[in-house]
Each structure stands twice: as structure tokens, then as C-alpha cells.
Amino acid sequence: MLKMPKRDKKRAGLAMKKILTTLFILASIISLAACSSEQMLSSQLSSLSPSKEENTMDLSSSNIVIIYDAEETGNIVEQTVLLLQETLGGDLYEIETNTINDFSAYEFILLGFTASNNNLPQQVRAFLQSNDLGARTIYPFFSGEGNDSATIFSTISELQPGALLGNSALFFSADTPEEEIIAWAQGLELLDNTFVPESGEGNTVATATVLPNEQQMLYLWDEGNVPATTEYTVNNGGYSDDPDFRPYITSFPVAEGVEIKGAVLICPGGAFQFRSDQPEGIDVAEALRELGYQSFVVDYRLRPYTQQEGALDLARAVRFVRAHAQEYGIEEKDIAVMGFSAGGILCGEMLLNFDGFVNGNALDASYQPDALDEISADAAACGMIYSFYGRLSFGTTDVELLRSGNLPPTFYCYGTRDPFYDQFLANADAAEEAGVDVSRLQLEGRPHGFGAQEGWIATYDEWLSGIFDSN
């Protein structure tokens, strides 16, 4: 059986939650880090129990919410919920009947329940049908007999076609060791401080010593010289990044003994509200490095910044890689960009609306150009992974606009169950009519947000290798 610290005390609190559900509405968010274990649970009960009448949930200071259907107080789902919360922090939300809530403040959703033969409980199914979770990354954890992760993921994606699917699920029972659950949670790498560049004036793409055989995290702009038109000074709770966020790049060197083919810069998605760095960044970079690509994950600016400001971050990253092509063992021309969902839109923003020598002065007259700005930000290829050329949620079909962008060969990959499926088709058709060299990979029955899964990377590798070989 699971053994959890202070379980009985927290169990009693969760039982009270069911009584207090209709009585409490959050007046203020209490910092989880500042609370004791007992205080933490108390604040969760008052802040995370939505009013059935109001059908709303206040924004959270956490990027993680644990949504669960316990069925009864003290069962193994509830016990596991508490252990996950102790491990990751985050907010708790017990599924209620016929409630609709806004979960847009969160980046990651852990969804817990008991299933039988891959059949989700009716209350969980009804919750997923009535709540649009949007482009959140979902990680299921479940107990029961006759279940498998692939089918559970498929069922969730059918009910939430716009969601991103995590790369891991947890199946547990009453005999699952506590350490195993903790290890799974920690392995998801969801905490805000998991990936943070080192501080220091010398840790930027303009000043750092490049270590081509080691992973590096480098800021894209010097402190105080980040080109922007948006004035962002205070986080009102609705933004993923605080005002002191500086865009950065993370390198993933080609695996030892693998022939280097070129470089790929990867922009994770997240509707410009967050960056889905793990399934759409790190996992992809790890796969591509094994195939011979120097891979770089770009952590660009999000809302309230504009797509243009984020596009300048990507252009800066391309310049850095090209400036150090020799150290990375690539040809200067063999640099591709790739984006998932909003990340693909960002790639298009850079390619379609900026020329290769744009610098920060295009948006910010106070920006001080440097030597990197003299290097081209052009890309040899673009990967649109469930994405399109256009603006958020709207792929363009303007053939003349696409023709004017002098766009590179473009690889489209999307699933037939994606809510944007028709837009992908129309955008690719328009790009083809505009003279763009278009390649398409359609995945039958796949939803939005499959990340590095579904085997598409092998096809992309074959396509990109051909592009680089013909340069």
C-alpha cells in the first residue's frame, strides 16, 4: 500500500472539500512555497473548489494542475494525487458534475482516475467533453484492470483533440511503491526551474565560448538590449513568463559517432501562452541529434509580447548557429527551422515578414545592433508540424503574400483529427500555388499535439537530408 506523509490529515481535508465546494471562491492566491504542509492543503481547498453557480476558476500561480476523479475518499487515486502534489506542487481540482472551468492559466495537466479495460469513468468522460482544455499538455495517471497507456492516450485525444499529449503515463496500483510514483513525476520535468540558463554577462550568444560537443544554454540578447515594442513590467497572473524573462537557446549536440548533416532550430508550441518545451522541444531535439542534426530549442518570448518580437528571438538564434557553423561542423547554408503549432507560426512570422538581415531596429529604435546582426537569418527549410504560415489560429491562403516571402522548402506534418486540419490543407495548397516546394505527411486519426511521437521524424529526416544535399 502507498505510504504518504501526513496522509490522514490531508485525507480529512479533501473529504471536507466536497462539502465546501459551493461555499468558497478565491479571494486571493496564497503562495504555495510559503505555506506549511497543513496550510497548503487548506489554501487549495478554498482556491481550487469552483463555485457550481459561477462555473469559473481563478488563475493560479502554478503552471501545474492535478485534475482527478477519486470516486471515494481515501482510495488509491486520491492517495496518489496527494503524493504527486507533494512532489511537484501545483494545484488540485477534483472533477465535479456538470462544471465548466477555465484552465488556461496552466501549462501542464495531470489527469487521474480509475479505468477498466481502457474505459474512462463517465464523470471523467463528461468532464473532458464539456471542458475545452486547449493546448495544455496532458499526462494521465490511472489505476484499474485491462488498461494500456496507448489506448488511454488515444481516448483522451479523441475527447480533447486540441490538447498536447505528454510522452509518459503512470499506471499504478495499491502495491505501486511510493518511490516509483515520485520518480515518474520528477521525470516529467515540469517544474519551472528545471531549465534555467546560467546568469552572467558572458553567457549570451554574442559573448560565450561555444562548446559544440556539450549542451549549452545561452541568452539570445544582452541584458538591457532586448528589442521590444511591448512594455511589460508586471505579471498580472495571466502570463507564463515574468517581465525579467530573457529569451534563450539550448543546444543538443549530435551524438558521438554520428555523421553531422546540418542544424535544426526547434520552436515548441503553446498558443503563445507557454512553451511546450518537453514534448515539442527537448524530445524532438534528442531524436534529431541521434540522426545527425545539431539541434537547438528556442525559448522565445510569449504573450504579452507580439509574434514579431518572438520572431526576432528566432532570427537571433539562427544568426548564432550560422556564425558558429564551423565549430558545429555544418555548412552555413544547412540550417533549418521547425515549429510546432504556435512555434511553426513563429517560424513563418520570421520567414514571411522579415528578410534575412532584419535586426532589432525594425521594431525598436533604441536597440543597439552588434556583429551578429550582420549575419543572415535565412533558413534552408521550414518544418510546419501541425502548423501553418499565418497568425495565431488563422492560416493564410493569400497566394501573393506567400509568394512575396520567397519561402524555403516546407515540410507539413499533421493529423486528420486535428481541429486545424482544414486550415493545414488550405495553407499548404496556397503555398504550393505560390511556388513553395511543399512536402506533406498526413497522419491518419492523429490529433493535435503528438510532439515527437507517431514516427514522423524519420520521414522528416529523409526530406531534410535531401534538402541539405541539394544545397
Nearest alpha carbon to residue 455 among 424, 410, 415, 416: 415
Predicted local distance difference test score (pLDDT) of residue 191: 59
**pTM exceeding the 0.75 threshold for the entire prediction:** no
Write out the residue limits of the CATH 3.40.50.360 domain(s) in the chain: 7-187
Mean pLDDT, residues 75-101 taken together: 85
**1 has pLDDT over 50:** no
Nearest alpha carbon to residue 157 among 392, 343, 418, 452: 418
- Grid coordinates 505579471 are at which residue? 235
Predicted local distance difference test score (pLDDT) of residue 60: 46
**77 has pLDDT over 50:** yes
Mean pLDDT, residues 374-393 taken together: 94
Nearest alpha carbon to residue 67 among 9, 146, 145, 120: 120
**401 has pLDDT over 80:** yes
Predicted local distance difference test score (pLDDT) of residue 446: 84
Task: Flag the least confident range among 91-95, 250-254, 344-348, 383-387.
Answer: 91-95
Dump pLDDT digits (tens) for 162-172. Answer: 888 777 889 99
How many alpha carbons fall within 13 Å on the CB side of residue 151? 11
Does residue 304 have a cis bond before it (omega within 30 degrees)? yes
Write out the residue limits of the CATH 3.40.50.1820 domain(s) in the chain: 217-470
Predicted local distance difference test score (pLDDT) of residue 96: 80
**194 has pLDDT over 50:** no
By percentage, how much of the chain surpasses pLDDT 90? Answer: 55
Predicted local distance difference test score (pLDDT) of residue 236: 82
Q: How is domain 217-470 classified at the architecture level of CATH?
A: 3-Layer(aba) Sandwich (3.40)
**36 has pLDDT over 50:** no
Mean pLDDT, residues 74-103 taken together: 85
69 vs 88: CA distance, rounded Å: 19
Cell triple for residue 417? Answer: 483529427
From the CB of residue 151, how many other CB atoms can be counted at a distance below 10 Å?
Answer: 14
87 vs 141: CA distance, rounded Å: 14
Predicted local distance difference test score (pLDDT) of residue 24: 33
Topology at the third CATH level for domain 7-187 = Rossmann fold (3.40.50)
